[in-house]
């Protein structure tokens, strides 16, 4: 804490839900909470104001739509606004790639009755999973409203602090499902470089302590 952290420390819990985490061979969020407590305690002892920057991944094999909604709620509760998010892309020699192609879980004994894995290949779902992690982007709100209603979670739509997204739509915001990334095929709209796609560092909001939030000057791709 004293000599090797320059204000921000990147850490990769990857997800909050046990389903996707089990496919990544990652521990639960309890490990992140314990580490955060130690990080903050020893930062105070060193007399430094420092922050953790967690990485999360969208559309990893074994992730349901609800599994992506819950990290969004966690991010809002902890005052995180991710600046750049990438979605899962299968890469050679990765177990997650095996899941992607076979829809089976190679971490367990394989057979006719092997565990089936929900693979997020559909362009709309890939955009939706990414949109949940960027719940604060007005361009994502129309897609999220529709999805939340279909999921029976319309109670998360409203204009108070405990709601995930508001009912109003800022003028001029472009819905995420209508945007197309340069050089990408229609219907995907995500930037994925590696099999462990992750977000870039959010910026701490002035006047806030404990968790960084977007400052409105994010450089991440949308």
According to DSSP, residue 152 is labeled: T
Nearest residue to 53 via CA among 7, 1, 3, 2:
7
Q: Would you say residue 201 has pLDDT above 90?
A: no
- Asked if residue 128 has pLDDT above 90, the reply is yes
Specify the DSSP element, H or E, that contains 52.
strand 51-56
For 156, the 3-state DSSP assignment is helix
* pLDDT given at position 171: 84
Rounded CA gap, 175 and 161, in Å? 22
Q: Please tell me the predicted confidence (pLDDT) of residue 180.
A: 54
Q: Kindly tell me if the per-residue pLDDT of 113 is higher than 90.
A: no
pLDDT for residue 16 is more than 80: yes
Tell me the C-alpha distance between 151 and 103, whole Å. 23
Nearest to 72 by CA among 199, 171, 167: 199
- For residue 204, being part of any structural domain is answered with no
Q: In which domain, by residue range, is 129 found?
A: 8-178
* Residue at 84 is within a domain: yes
Mean pLDDT computed over every residue of the chain: 82
CATH of the domain at 16: 3.30.750.200
6 band by pLDDT with thresholds 50, 70 and 90: confident
Let me know if residue 63 belongs to a domain: yes
195 falls within a domain: no
The reported pTM is 0.76
Please state the domain count of the chain: 1
For the chain, percent of residues with pLDDT exceeding 90: 65
The pLDDT, as a whole number, for residue 196 is 40
For residue 135, the 8-state DSSP code is T
pLDDT digits (tens, 9 = 90+) for 153-188: 999 999 999 999 999 999 877 776 565 554 443 333
159, 168 contact by CB (below 8 A)? yes
Question: Can you state the angle between helices 123-133 and 65-77, rounded to 10 degrees?
Answer: 20
Give the model confidence (pLDDT) of 20-78 as tens digits.
Answer: 999 999 999 999 999 999 999 999 999 999 999 899 999 999 999 999 999 999 999 99
193: in domain: no
pLDDT of residue 110: 84
pLDDT at 215 over 70: no
140 domain residue, yes or no: yes
Does residue 192 fall inside a structural domain? no
Q: Which residues contact 56 (CB under 8 A, 6 or more apart)?
A: 13, 14, 15, 71, 75, 82, 85, 133, 198, 199
Does 129 fall in a domain? yes
Judge whether residue 222 has pLDDT over 60: no
């Amino acid at each position: 804490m004293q000599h090797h952290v320059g204000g921000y420390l990147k850490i990769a819990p990857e997800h909050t839900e046990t389903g996707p985490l089990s496919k990544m061979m990652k521990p639960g969020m309890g490990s992140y909470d314990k580490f955060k407590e130690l990080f903050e305690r020893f930062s105070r002892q060193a007399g430094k104001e420092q922050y953790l920057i967690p990485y999360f991944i969208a559309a990893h094999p074994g992730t349901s739509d609800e599994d992506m909604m819950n990290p969004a709620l966690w991010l809002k509760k902890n005052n995180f606004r991710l600046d750049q998010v990438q979605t899962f892309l299968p890469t050679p020699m990765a177990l997650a790639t095996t899941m992607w192609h076979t829809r089976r879980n190679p971490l367990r004994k394989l057979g006719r009755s092997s565990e089936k894995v929900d693979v997020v290949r559909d362009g709309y779902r890939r955009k939706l999973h990414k949109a949940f992690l960027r719940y604060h982007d007005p361009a994502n709100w129309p897609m999220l409203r529709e999805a939340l209603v279909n999921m029976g979670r319309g109670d998360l739509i409203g204009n108070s602090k405990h709601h995930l997204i508001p009912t109003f739509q800022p003028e001029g915001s472009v819905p995420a499902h209508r945007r197309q990334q340069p050089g990408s095929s229609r219907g995907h709209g995500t930037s994925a470089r590696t099999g462990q796609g992750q977000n870039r560092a959010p910026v701490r909001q002035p006047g806030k302590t404990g968790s960084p939030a977007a400052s409105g000057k994010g450089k991440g791709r949308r």
